Amino acid sequence: MKRKEWSAYAYGLKTLHECAPGILLTCVVDGLILGARPFIGIYLSGILVDAVYSGEEMAVLIRYALQALGAVLVLALIQSGLLKLRNQNMEYMYERQNRVLNKKSMEMDYEYLEDAKIHKMRESVTGFYPRFGLLGCLMESVSTCSEVTGTIAAAFAVIVPRLVAGGRRADGFVGSLGCSGLFLLFVVGINCLNMRLLNHYNDRLQKLHDEKKAPLDVRKKYYLDLFAKAESQKDVRMCGQEGLLHTEMETLAAFAAEALKEFAGVALSRTGLSGFLSSLSTISVYVFAGVYEYFGVISIGSVVSFAAGIRRVADAIFELGEMIGEIRYESSFVSHFEEFLNLGQRRHEGTIPVEKRRDDKFSVEFDHVSFRYPNSDTYVIKDLSLSFVIGEKMAIVGKNGSGKTTFIKLLCRLYDVTEGCIRVNGIDIRKYDYREYGALFGAVFQDFAVFDFALGESVACTDQWEEERVWDALSRAGLEKRAQALAHGLSTIVGKGFDESGINFSGGEKQKLAIARAICKNAPFVIMDEPTAALDPEAEAEVFEGFDRMVGRKTAIYISHRLASCRFCEDILVFDNGQVVQRGSHEQLEAQDGLYRELWMAQAGYYA
State the Cα–Cα distance between residues 158 and 155, nearest whole angstrom.
5
What's the length of the chain?
A: 608
Residue 119: predicted pLDDT: 86
How far is residue 578 from each of residues 283, 493, 529, 534, 575, measured CA to CA in Å?
Answer: 78, 41, 17, 26, 6
Q: Rounded to 5, what percent of the chain is helix, strand, coil? A: 65, 10, 25
Q: Which CATH code fits 3-203+270-341?
A: 1.20.1560.10
Q: How far apart are CA 414 and CA 174, in angstroms?
A: 78
Task: State the amino acid at position 61 in one-letter form.
Answer: L
Residue type, 608: A
In degrees rounded to 5, what are phi and psi of residue 503? Answer: -115, 135
pTM over 0.75: no
* Pair 139, 82: CB distance under 8 Å: no
**Radius of gyration in angstroms for the set of CA atoms belonging to the chain, rounded to a whole number:** 36
Backbone angles phi, psi at 127, to 5 degrees: -85, -5
List pLDDT tens digits, range 132-177. Answer: 889 999 999 999 899 888 888 887 777 766 666 555 555 554 455 5
Residue 419's nearest CA partner among 388, 381, 387 is: 381
Match domain 363-450+505-607 to its CATH number in 3.40.720.10, 2.60.40.10, 3.40.50.300, 2.40.50.140. 3.40.50.300
Q: Concatenate the DSSP letters of all residues of 73-106 into one string.
A: HHHHHHHHHHHHHHHHHHHTHHHHHHHHHHHHHH
Helices of type H across 372-492:
404-411, 434-438, 455-460, 467-477, 480-484
519-531: per-residue pLDDT in tens? Answer: 888 888 888 887 7
Strand order of the sheet with strand 441-444?
Answer: 441-444, 525-529, 555-559, 393-398, 571-576, 579-584
Nearest of 441, 443, 414 to residue 430 by alpha carbon? 414
Q: 391: closest CA among 360, 432, 351?
A: 360
Domain chopping of the chain, boundaries? 3-203+270-341, 363-450+505-607, 453-503
Residue 236, number of CB atoms within 10 A of its CB: 15
The string over 542-564, giving b where at least 16 C-beta atoms fall within 10 Å of a residue's C-beta and e elsewhere, is: bbbeebeebbeebbbbbbbeebe
CA distance 401 to 237: 32
Which pLDDT score is estimated for 173? 47
pLDDT block averages, 10 residues each, the chain of length 608: 84 92 92 85 71 72 78 84 86 90 90 87 83 90 90 78 58 55 75 78 78 75 73 74 80 83 84 81 76 68 70 76 80 91 84 74 89 89 86 84 90 93 92 90 84 90 88 89 90 83 85 88 84 65 66 79 76 91 90 89 64
Q: What confidence score (pLDDT) does residue 190 get?
A: 81
Q: What are phi and psi of 198, to 5 degrees?
A: -60, -45
- Alpha carbon separation from 160 to 34, 38, 147, 152, 307 (Å, rounded): 21, 17, 20, 11, 12
Q: How far apart are CA 31 and CA 146, in angstroms?
A: 5
